[in-house]
Amino acid sequence: MERFYFDLYNTDHTQLDREGQLFPSRERAGVEALRILHDVASEEMTVGDQLKITVRIRNEKSEQIFEASLTLDSAWTLPTPWQPGERSSRLGGPA
Is a pLDDT exceeding 70 seen at residue 76? yes
Q: Quick one: pLDDT band at residue 10, thresholds 50, 70, 90?
A: confident
User: Is pLDDT above 90 for 18?
Assistant: yes
Residue 72's pLDDT band (boundaries 50, 70, 90)?
Answer: confident
Per-residue model confidence (pLDDT) at position 37: 94
Whole domain around residue 31: which residue ranges?
Answer: 2-73
| Residue 40 covered by a domain | yes
8 Å CB contact between 23 and 35:
no
Mean local confidence (pLDDT), 34-52: 83
CATH code, 11: 2.60.40
Look at the chain and count its residues: 95
Query: Which residues are paired to 79 by β-bridges?
Result: none
Say what percent of the chain tops pLDDT 70: 82
Q: How many domains does the chain have?
A: 1
